[in-house]
Amino acid sequence: MPMKDFNLKEYWKEHWQDILRIFIVVLLLTFIALNFDTLRHLDVEQMVRRAGSPWKGFLVVMALFAIKSIVLVVPASLVNVGVGVAFTPVIGLLVNIAGVVVELTTSYFMGFFLGGEFVSRQLDKMKRGREYLEDDSRDSTIVMFFLRFIPFFSVNAISMFYGSAHYNFLKYLGISMAGMMPRVVFLSLFGNALYEYLPSFLA
């Protein structure tokens, strides 16, 4: 297109979503690059303690789950165990359940907004999971439950895939929660016993 025919207003109108997607991706990559080590070794118990009150601690954890769903590098087990330690086991379980809902919702709508190309790059990191997701011969409900139940697949990459596919949100959320509950319950209730071993395990 010759420069004299270029109309910035029209170009923005046609491509604003693509420009915004690129901006968000660049922003996320920059944030991850600058905070990678911190994100990989978060002290959730300390963050909750510094909040000053249980309600503020709850809000801190919800914000952490939202961030975790976007940056993709925060270990899920580290957060779940940290929450179980920071609160009493039962309260920690309830907080973790609320946090997982926040995480699943945020990453779903990230995929919904960013679209297939960004999500495809995330799935490239988990070849086996991608094969299950893209196999049309399998029942989607069973596949989703399986991928949630087995802790080796990226929670957020899978969520973004279903978001980019515009999968029914309530069905997605219900199946995802059902598949993830066993590990969330285990990590919440037995977090105290695992806490002293987890940092060295993740290193």
Do 58 and 83 form a contact (C-beta atoms < 8 A)?
Answer: no
Six token digits for residue 10: 């029209």
Question: pLDDT at position 94, please?
Answer: 95
Question: pLDDT at position 145, please?
Answer: 92
Report the SS3 class of residue 139: coil
Question: pLDDT at position 176, please?
Answer: 95
Q: How many CB atoms lie within 10 A of CB 133?
A: 21
Question: pLDDT at position 188, please?
Answer: 86
Closest CA to 170 of 113, 116, 105, 115: 105
Distance between CA atoms of residues 84 and 40, nearest Å: 18
Distance between CA atoms of residues 153 and 183, nearest Å: 13
Report the SS3 class of residue 153: coil
Closest CA to 162 of 178, 184, 147, 179: 147
Q: At what angle do helices 89-114 and 8-40 cross, to 10 degrees?
A: 150
For the chain, what is the domain count?
1
Long-range contacts of 171-174 (CB under 8 A, 24+ apart): 171/141, 172/104, 172/108, 172/144, 173/101, 173/104, 173/105, 173/108
Q: How many CB atoms lie within 10 A of CB 118?
A: 18
Q: Which residues contact 72 (CB under 8 A, 6 or more apart)?
A: 32, 122, 154, 156, 157
Six token digits for residue 107: 């990453």
Distance between CA atoms of residues 156 and 123, nearest Å: 10
Q: For residue 154, what are the domain limits?
A: 3-202
Six token digits for residue 66: 């939202």
Residue burial 57-72, b: 16+ Cβ < 10 Å; e: rest: bbebbbebbbbbbbbb
Q: What is the pLDDT along the chain (203 residues), one digit of tens a residue?
A: 455 565 666 656 665 555 565 565 556 556 545 554 555 556 777 888 888 888 998 998 998 888 888 776 667 777 888 888 888 888 999 999 999 999 999 989 988 887 666 566 655 555 555 555 655 545 678 888 988 998 777 788 888 888 888 889 999 999 999 999 999 998 888 866 665 555 544 44
